[in-house]
Amino acid sequence: MNKKLLAIGFIIIAILILGFCFYTYNTVKIGNAYFTVPEGYHVVDREYCSNITSETDHMCLVKEVSDDNINNVIEKYNAAKVSENDTLNFSKFSFGEVEVIKSISNKNPNVIHYWFVKDGMTYEAFTWAGDSNSDSLLKNLIHSMKPAIDVF
């Protein structure tokens, strides 16, 4: 009887471990949220961001939220670009309840930065290969967000 219970316990633990590995395989944790990576994309972890990439698209989600005030984050970025003799074109749009601020570099229109606030946290994403798919990729990532529940 004890061997049966031990075997059942081992099987349950193995299933839980495999389920956790599968769940985290397609997700990336940024700040207090998990983002589900769209089909056809994979994650390349870098020091400062998680690069979500496919054969044609690339987007980095910045790992650390540097300030909970979105305007402060944008002002710092804009000041850095001005010091590099670059100007930015800003626009706003919404995905559901989430307002996104987007900047495009005048020096290099493929460099696109995004900022948005969800659940009280400011998130930042950018791409150096911006095209018409960049907004769509960000939309998919925002819609996939789930709060991170840390077990430990």
All domains of the chain in start order, with CATH:
2-147 (2.60.120)
Return the percentage of the chain with pLDDT > 70, whole number.
80
Query: What's the pLDDT tens digit per position in 39-65?
Result: 889 888 888 888 888 888 889 898 766
- For residue 111, the model assigns a pLDDT of 92
Q: What is the mean pLDDT of residues 111-134?
A: 87
What is the C-alpha separation between 28 and 25, in angstroms, rounded?
8
Write the CB contacts of 68 (distance below 8 Å, at least 6 apart in sequence).
120, 121, 122
Q: Inform me whether the pLDDT recorded for 95 exceeds 50.
A: yes
Please indicate whether residue 148 or residue 72 has the higher confidence score (pLDDT). Answer: 72
- pLDDT tens digits along 23-46: 445 788 888 788 999 988 988 888
Average pLDDT of every residue of the chain: 82
| Residue 9 predicted with pLDDT over 70 | no
